[in-house]
A and B are shown apart, each in its own frame.
Chain A
Amino acid sequence: MVTIELFGVPRLRAGRDAFCVDAASLGQAFRALGEACPSLAPSVVDGDRLQPHYLVAVNGTQFTADPSTPLRDGDVVVLVSAEAGG
């Protein structure tokens, strides 16, 4: 299982801060998230893609939106806005 943590607008839309999904890649995780939480599709995830104004940090470290990024059991996908301006 992979945990997807939500921050910002996606958290508000979903009404919760995390989902657990079965996924071996980011693309699979995005698709599973959209199916588990239709309120995030297509504004945040669209099929196996992430919308351009969002990014994820796998285990909180490096940012990517590449759906081919492999995931392992226990990984945490941190989904954030790509707009970091403050």
Chain B
Amino acid sequence: MIRGGYFGRFLRVDTGSGRATVVPIAPAVLESVIGGVGLGTYLLARETPAGFDPYGPEAAVVFAFGPLVGTPLTTSAKFAVVTKSPLTDRLTDSLSSSAFALSGKRTGFDALVLVGRAERPSVVLIDGDRVEIAECSDLWDTDLGVSDATAALAKRFPRYELATIGVAGERLVRYAGLANGGRHAGRGGIGAVLGSKRIKAIGVRGSERVPLADAARTVALSRDLARRSLGPATEKYRELGTVANLATFNRLAALPTRNFQQATFEGAAAISGEVLKVTREKGRGSCAACTIGCEHFYEVERGAAPVKAEYENLFALGPLCGISDPDVVLAASRACDELGLDTISAGGTIAFAMECSERGLLDRGPWGDQAKGLRFGDGARLLTLLDDIAHRRGALGDLLAEGSRRAARAIGPPAPDFAPHVKGLEIPGYEPRALQSMALGFAVGSRGADHNRSGAYEVDFSGKVDRFAGSPEGARLAVETEDRAALLDALILCKFLRGALRDPSAEAAEMLRAVTGIEFSADDTRAAAARIVLLKKLFNVREGWTAAEDTLPARFFDDALPDGVSRGAVLSRDGLDAMIAAYYAARGWRADGSVPGTLVAAAGLESVASRRTGDTTSA
């Protein structure tokens, strides 16, 4: 019996009619997929027909909370946004955090599901079970950045926590994100899906308290976890943040540079975390209810608000584009935030365009004039292009707003060979030839090239495998990192805690018992994690997945890395195939990547694999 953590219902909001429907969620569903990304994926599958258009009114955007949101457990103030990506046409699930998660849960729902399409640009306001679709046409198609637009909405709709899209979402840039309180559900084009619904923002507030089955035990577990969160496992994030990766990856020749043509960058030192800390750091921050505090802010212009930077911002807008000027890289990062662009996809797509231009591939075609002279290292053009993309300005801005996969198809051969994506999602800052377990993680990822859903780079860093030669053993270890990520994304807890967790499955079960009263065991949470990975796979299968998608661009097989300690490293097609085969086998899938019906039935996911929808969700 559920005695805490959940409300056992979700709210479906038709953004066209304003109709709101309260839908119960069966306890068995919550037990089987826990919450967060698990629940979000489950509801997305149940609330949409197979093969739906991510920009169609039938598309659903699911805001899913976990059972731990609102508890004192550190880093638990998070939410997942799940939809079908207009960039990949597959599942996308992004996490964000802080006050929106807390207020969203206080609405008294485990998830909020937006469907339909508003007649005019609007903000969706959810106050408990009261819903209003409020027009905000005056804030659509303006020069306001995300921060100013959010401030204007906050003045108009006080006491709501807001998540807002930028101009990129309005213009349906396929990698537009969603921002709340300086944080971003960035990947996969969630902002564009909301833009297609003419939803500028969603505001949430409520007064429901999250019940705790065993409050004393929850508090005791929270204190213990908070203590460990301040230990050596999170020191890197506290002291330097993720930007610490940049100099390290450069030394290990794992830093993607100039659109993955190199793995070291001669200008890395200038934008390294170690140098930025000494020369520019202006302070630290943290999400609500977090004891780690991984956010680091850096000065760009004296007197202006400092910029928060992460490794992925720096890598994608710096080395990947051949840019080492920290003023430019940090300004580009801020521009992405204000325009509502995913930094990884923006940097990846522009880096791809820079290489195309240097190779003369953009000379012909409608984008020729706008692309003239585009070269790696041109910071001014980077900043201009970000704005052009967000506004779909000119033929080149419009082309690059489609992402590297679609742009490469439009440009023609040989561009698709070096368009830096998997399933259409641009590759993050882990060079696959130098980290070959991660290559597998990218290839099989349900979201596409993804460092947050597969932590296979940890396998490469473990010393248990040869990082330059992927292996079936590496694939089996990669499955463990993927399952752990699925579990943390369902609870939801921050992945930066992973090193502080002794046994994530057992500890998750202990937390869930205290919060929900359900007798979860470590085996239950392990099974739930595998079920969630399967659920994502089944959604993608339903939407047209084929095994041919589980690969990387030709460059990674054809071009050996030229530099640093990774000189000569290249992926072998046979080697990656062997890893994929080992991965499929470890998941219980067939050799062609399809899922046996017996596995679906054992996981209790038959209904998800079908096209059924209904007004009561049950397992």
Contact = CB atoms under 8 A, between A and B. Distances in A.
Interface in A55-72: 55, 57, 59-66
Interface string A50-86: 0111010101111111100000000000101111111
A83 B233 contact: yes
A84 B245 contact: yes
Interface stretch (B204-212, B246-254, B373-381, B385-393): B246-254
Contacts of B430: 86
Contact of B242 (A5, A66, A78, A86): A86
A84 B468 contact: no
B244 A60 contact: no
Given A60-B253, A62-B467, A9 B236 contact: yes
Task: Give the size range of A's interface with the partner.
Answer: 20 to 34
A84 B242 CA distance: 8
A12 B237 contact: no
A11 B248 CA distance: 11
A84 B499 CA distance: 11
B252 A60 contact: yes
Contact of A83 (B237, B247, B312, B463): B237
Given A11-B274, A55-B461, A63-B463, A86 B252 contact: no
B239 A9 contact: yes
A79 B615 CA distance: 56
Given A8-B236, A12-B277, A60 B248 contact: no
Interface string A26-65: 0000000000000000010000000111010101111111
A52 B233 CA distance: 9
Contacts of A11: 274
Interface in A6-32: 7-9, 11-12
Contacts of B242: 85-86
Nearest to B247: A7
B235 interface: yes
A11 B499 CA distance: 21
Nearest to A7: B248
B463 A53 contact: no
A84 B253 contact: no
Nearest to B451: A86
B8 to A, nearest CB: 33
A9 B461 contact: no
Given A86-B310, A86-B312, A65 B463 contact: yes
B104 interface: no
B251 A60 contact: yes
B495 interface: yes
Contacts of B116: none
A63 B466 CA distance: 9
B311 interface: yes
Contact of B458 (A9, A60, A84): A84
B463 A60 contact: no
B441 to A, nearest CB: 12
B232 interface: yes
A61 B244 contact: no
A59 B567 CA distance: 13
A66 B311 CA distance: 29
A42 to B, nearest CB: 10
Given A78-B251, A86-B310, A86-B451, A43 B232 contact: yes
A8 B564 contact: no
Given A9-B244, A85-B451, 19 more contacts: A8-B236, A8-B239, A8-B273, A8-B274, A9-B236, A11-B274, A12-B274, A43-B232, A51-B232, A53-B499, A55-B461, A60-B252, A61-B565, A82-B461, A82-B499, A83-B234, A84-B457, A85-B498, A86-B429
Interface of B: 232-237, 239-240, 242, 244-245, 247-248, 251-253, 273-274, 277, 310-312, 315, 428-430, 451, 455, 457-458, 460-463, 466-468, 495-496, 498-499, 564-565
7 contacts: A12-B240, A55-B463, A65-B463, A82-B499, A86-B311, A86-B428, A86-B451
